[in-house]
Structure 1
Amino acid sequence: MIWTVPNMLTILRLLAAPGVVFAFVFLARPWADFVALLLFVSASVTDWLDGYLARKWNQTSRFGAMLDPIADKAMVVIALLAVTGLFGMSAWVMLPATVILFREVFISGLREFLREQAGLLAVTKLAKWKTTVQMVAIAVLLAQGIFEHYVGMHSYGMDAAMVDDVLAGRQPDEMGLAWKYNGLLATMYGGIALLWLAAVLTFVTGWDYFAKSLPYLRGKP
């Protein structure tokens, strides 16, 4: 039951996680942005697909149940590392990223400590929504780098006044600068807003898990 299609998809998702960072290490931009975005989105799709196929084909396994959350966490943690670097350690990205990373480490440690009682921390529907919002936010923020590159490239040699005229429609926009600039703003602010929403959901689900484990942490199950 290890080498089933759902488990292979999970393994590919796990292997794709470091590829997001490797793309920026070994490739020039914007190719690095394209590759990182493609890897992350593909891996995010397999997160839903492997579970769906495992249930449909009755191919659920202990190996898959063990590896699936590990692959999810690896994708989110490593992609957040790349995103914080791309945004120059901006506080608007660093703060929600810190909340997300802290929660993942804390809950993983809590599950390890509880061992037999770890079933108390079974994944809830809200936690699944949390993971979905995290992945969408990271994908949008990775896309921001693509828009940023082309806005910079297509405005190269223009002064601020000329750029303002093009964006305002007072000069011809032969390079499509306006829609690229709007895409830059949408992915930047939209991605940051989604990341903060993900951080809130992360905190709420983390606190829920912690509250459920308190009787066992106090030694009074």
Structure 2
Amino acid sequence: MNMTVPNILTVLRLLAAPGVALMFLYFSRPAADWFALILFITAAITDWFDGYLARAWKQESKLGAMLDPIADKAMVVIALMVIVGYSSMSPWLVLPATFILFREVFVSGLREFLGDTAGTLKVTPLAKWKTTLQMVAIAILFAQGVFEHYLGMSAMGMGPEIFQDVMRGDVEDLHGLWWKHTGMVWTGNIGLILLWVAAFLTLITGWDYFRKAVPYLKD
């Protein structure tokens, strides 16, 4: 195995996947949200760099081809698990996350079953767009957690009536409640919309892989 720079970046991204969850184990919020967000974005950026460098330096390898999709899936699956676990379990979040996780398990099972013929299920451009959308959506949802926690800290001990008065502008906003609430709402809505679009693309690419695998599933 040749540990080139692109392969090292891929391995680091793979190791960063569980690191996202560990941030919430070793740090309190909102520090954990910040560290998870920074770690996830950094790892997502390496997803572009390792492929670009491998092609530019002609260092494409079987190890990289094997680890790259695993690292992507690990990042997405673990990050979604953390986000759903720290959410209010809203079905608007749980459903797209379920579709994405189901597809990843299903396609991985197909590839394992096909064995030597798994090359039939090569990553398509639409699947790459799907992965990009997933990572952008997850990063934005991590940002929502940051806004949400800072809003909760600023509103601590404040009654609902006073909070509403501040949001209406009847009471001076001394703690920045308005921009924290606005940031929380916008990142939450944008993140959810992108996650649903990613889930839709996930189902389309999953069906495409299944269709390609059907001839190899016949007795």
How far the C-alpha of 1:114 sits from its partner, in A, is: 1.2
Cross-structure match for 1:7: 7
For structure 2, list consecutive stretches of 5 or more residues without a partner in the other structure.
none
Q: TM-score, normalised by structure 1?
A: 0.95
Residues 16-62 of structure 1: CA distance to partner in whole angstroms, max 9, x if unpaired? 00011111111111111011111111110000110011111111111
Q: Aligned partners of 1:25 and 1:88: how far apart in 2?
A: 19
Letter in 1 for 2:6: P
How far the C-alpha of 1:161 sits from its partner, in A, is: 2.2
How many matched pairs? 219
> 1:38-53 to 2 correspondence within 5 Å?
38-53=38-53
Letter in 1 for 2:160: A
Cross-structure match for 1:29: 29
Matched, 1:156 2:156: yes
Q: Aligned partners of 1:62 and 1:142: how far apart in 2?
A: 33
How far the C-alpha of 1:196 sits from its partner, in A, is: 1.2
Cross-structure match for 1:74: 74
Q: Aligned partners of 2:2 and 2:32: how far apart in 1?
A: 33
Matched, 1:115 2:115: yes
RMSD of Structure 2 on Structure 1 (CA): 1.2
Letter in 1 for 2:3: W
> 1:120-199 to 2 correspondence within 5 Å?
120-199=120-199
Letter in 2 for 1:147: F
Letter in 1 for 2:204: V
How far the C-alpha of 1:168 sits from its partner, in A, is: 2.0
How far the C-alpha of 1:90 sits from its partner, in A, is: 2.5
Q: Aligned partners of 2:52 and 2:189: how far apart in 1?
A: 32
**Identity in percent:** 62
Residues 49-106 of structure 1: CA distance to partner in whole angstroms, max 9, x if unpaired? 1001111111111111111011001101111110110113322221111111111111
How far the C-alpha of 1:113 sits from its partner, in A, is: 1.2
Cross-structure match for 1:106: 106
How far the C-alpha of 1:162 sits from its partner, in A, is: 1.8
